[in-house]
Amino acid sequence: MQLDDTDIKLLRLLQQDATLSNKELSFKLHKSIAAIHERVKKLKAQGYIKRTVAIVDRHKIGIGLISFSQVFLKAHTAEVLNEFERDVAKFPEVMECYQMAGSYDFMLRIATKDMDAYHMFLRHKLAVLPQVNTVQTYFVLSETKSETAYSI
């Protein structure tokens, strides 16, 4: 599907506020409510909109520490890579997991209550995975920018 100008504007609006009703979207985009409804439905069906979520203030729910861990694996076979991805995806502390090109294999964004919780996560979950060779972690001191919307 080729996105037209209305689709792009619709995606921009929904990335900023997914709670906008079809009525509100139709007013902003000068289209009928039915047309907006159909476009949103089509964008979801074709995978442009993967899901709709609420972005929670992590501090209000007790998540005080964000860290980024570089993970080096013991081997690089398809089986080892797949097992690591499957295992790490089960950990609720892991918010994002990326396989990387370069000197390390994976980058993880980890959210925990505090340093003690991170330490327990590392010692009892991440470092004990059989595929893991080394973990190097960097702790976030401050957050200057955090976006969820892509520029389209």
Q: Are residues 65 and 36 in the same domain?
A: no
* CATH number of the CATH domain containing 26: 1.10.10
State percent of the chain over pLDDT 90.
Answer: 99
- pLDDT tens digit string along 77-117? 999 999 999 999 999 999 999 999 999 999 999 999 999 99
Give the separation between CA 99 and CA 102, rounded to whole angstroms. 10
Let me know if residue 71 belongs to a domain.
Answer: yes
Q: Are residues 12 and 75 in the same domain?
A: no
Using DSSP's 3-state secondary structure scheme, residue 138 falls into strand
The residue ranges of DSSP E strands in 74-148, in sequence order, are: 94-99, 106-112, 132-139
- pLDDT tens digit string along 36-56? 999 999 999 999 999 999 999
Q: Are residues 105 and 35 in the same domain?
A: no
Let me know if residue 149 belongs to a domain.
Answer: no
